[in-house]
Homo-oligomer: A and B are copies of this chain.
Amino acid sequence: MTDIGAVKETLRAQRIETPSWAYGNSGTRFKVFAQQGVPRTPQEKIDDAATVHRYTGVAPTVALHIPWDRVDDYAALADHARNAGITLGAINSNVFQDDDYMLGSVTNPDPAVRKKALNHLLECVDIMDATGSRDLKLWFSDGTNYPGQDDVRERQDRLAEALSAVYDRLGDDQRLLLEYKLFEPAFYTTDVPDWGTAYAHCLRLGPKAVVCVDTGHHAPGTNIEFIVAVLLREGKLGAFDFNSRFYADDDLMVGAADPFQLFRIMHEVVRGGGLGPQVAFMLDQCHNIEPKIPGQIRSVMNVQEATAKALLVDADALRAAQRSGDVLGANAVLMDAYNTDVRPLLAELREEMGLDPDPMAAYRRSGYAERIVAERVGGTAAGWGA
């Protein structure tokens, strides 16, 4: 039997980080559709992230993206966040938006470009020192578009060298999260295309290097929850970048495309002891056509709902059915939890936390959306370039 009190306690303690860039404009290569009220500064992004936390209660940190969120005074930025009710989270490096990086950043055939890229990564650790961030998230767009374009193996050597330099620079309580991605923007090889490559590098680097699983970065048919289970077993799962997809790295709201998959992932997280602080739960999404703050609120709620369902799985009954080889019985235990409507439970929890039971409605009523449209006039709307 499931202890509802314990389930609530776990859900109350859950922490989901939203990304600063989700509040700015984004799009596809075809078009970035501008939205009104979009933040123009890192401070305004933080305000929006704080708004998501105000209505959900479980999103108390915001991830920064450098250089998009570069400021002169990170301590002041951290103060701004604290005053808004949240704190700064992971630092995301960006070595893909400079013309120098056309053929790669840390794996570029040109040593001068590699050095430039590495310097940026090291600067990110400096920023972490200033912001008090624990995690440095590394995603590399590095790769090649054509067979023969560069030496696949040598690029691994270059990557290892850069990662090692960054690792050595980390403080005792800092971590490096290495993210993998099958393709895009590189179209033939990607230098960290799969969890195996990320895992192999992290293993050589040491305990402070862990893998970040972006749920949109796999080949069709990949069983993501299996990877989660294996990485937890190996002690190398460091973080999630949550989003959802139907085709490629669509970056839709997490839980929107395949809620059952999200549930299965959370089931393996619960099973493998991954709900503690060693695994960071982060969103990494692009709200191309939907309003951004509600998009984040809905996403946080979707993660909560999947977590709640995973916590409701009757572990004893499941284990008993599994041990006895009862295929349908074991599946039914899992499906019973999935088919449960957990929205009343979460509404109840929110009320206990002093929140509105319906975060979407509460945000809508708050007038925040209208306020930012009215106030954020002039300036340059934040986007992937700024």
Q: Which residues of A contact B (CB under 8 A)?
A: 26-31, 33-34, 96-97, 99, 101-103, 109-110, 141, 145-153, 156-157, 182-185, 187-190, 193-197, 199-200, 203, 218-223, 225-227, 229-230, 232-234, 245-248, 250, 252-253, 256-261, 264, 267-268, 271-272, 288-291, 294-295, 298, 305, 318-319, 321-325, 327-328, 330-335, 338-341, 343, 360, 384
Contact = CB atoms under 8 A, between A and B. Distances in A.
Contacts of A256: 146-147, 331
B246 A248 contact: no
A291 B328 contact: yes
Contact of A184 (B28, B261, B321, B325): B28
Given A246-B183, A247-B182, A101 B200 contact: no
16 contacts: A29-B29, A30-B384, A31-B97, A33-B102, A145-B252, A146-B331, A147-B260, A156-B229, A183-B247, A183-B250, A187-B250, A188-B252, A221-B247, A247-B248, A291-B327, A339-B341
A295 B145 CA distance: 13
Nearest to A185: B28
A185 to B, nearest CB: 4
Nearest to A321: B148
Closest 6 CB pairs between A and B?
A196-B196, A148-B334, A219-B219, A28-B185, A220-B220, A187-B250
Contacts of A218: 219
A188 B246 contact: yes
Copies of this chain held together in the complex: 4
A339 B28 CA distance: 30
Nearest to A34: B99
Contacts of A331: 146-149, 256
A229 B154 CA distance: 10
Name the residue in A289, A290, A321, A322 with the highest tally of chain B Cβ atoms < 10 Å from its Cβ: A289
Contact of A225 (B152, B226, B321, B343): B152
A34 to B, nearest CB: 6
A28 B230 CA distance: 27
A120 to B, nearest CB: 15
A328 B253 CA distance: 10
B246 A322 contact: no
Contact of A221 (B33, B102, B246, B294): B246
Contacts of A384: 29-30
Nearest to A218: B219
B247 A148 contact: no
Contact of A268 (B150, B152, B247): B152
A223 B271 contact: no
B339 A343 contact: yes
B247 A330 contact: no
A21 to B, nearest CB: 12
Contact of A233 (B33, B34, B153, B253): B153
A101 B31 contact: yes
A187 B252 contact: yes
Contacts of A360: 328, 332
A26 B109 CA distance: 22
A193 B223 contact: yes
Contact of A194 (B27, B147, B196): B196
B146 A290 contact: yes
